[in-house]
Amino acid sequence: MADVPVLVCTAGSLEGNRYTVLDGSEISIGRSDENQIILIEDGVSRFHARLHNDNGTLWLRDAGSRNGVFVNDLRVTDHHALRVGDVIRVAESEFTLRWLSDEEDTASFHGVPSPGGRWWWPFKT
């Protein structure tokens, strides 16, 4: 099975939620209930950003938001190709891009957060 991108919300009102982005699909982020990811936070536009999976490349585009969308703390002004490990920030919410296969692998590990807040454990249990 090919790797499938997964957005994991790591901060904000949806912390802990995961969103799979299948090839050819699009996910929109914003305040409106017409979005797939609905963020009811100050600074979030009705239609804030869009993600599109095109043949294994995940693209992020600002949908004309007033406060912007950021990847690794840099504002996206047009569209941006994402890589695994990138952190997307919309207002107070953050999402980390991972592979579905990595998410499945981490389910078989146990550990504690490192000082940077990331989970790690060197041995399978």
* pLDDT at residue 122 tops 60: no
Mean pLDDT of 72-85: 93
112 vs 101: CA distance, rounded Å: 21
7 vs 71: CA distance, rounded Å: 13
What's the pLDDT band for 4 if we cut at 50, 70, 90? confident
* pLDDT at residue 81 tops 80: yes
Give tens-digit pLDDT for 86-116.
999 999 999 999 987 655 444 433 333 333 4
Residue 25, pLDDT score: 85
Give tens-digit pLDDT for 35-75.
999 999 999 999 999 999 988 789 999 999 999 999 999 99
Element (H, E) at 101: helix 100-106
* pLDDT at residue 2 tops 70: no
13 vs 19: CA distance, rounded Å: 14
pTM of this prediction? 0.76
Residue 34, pLDDT score: 94
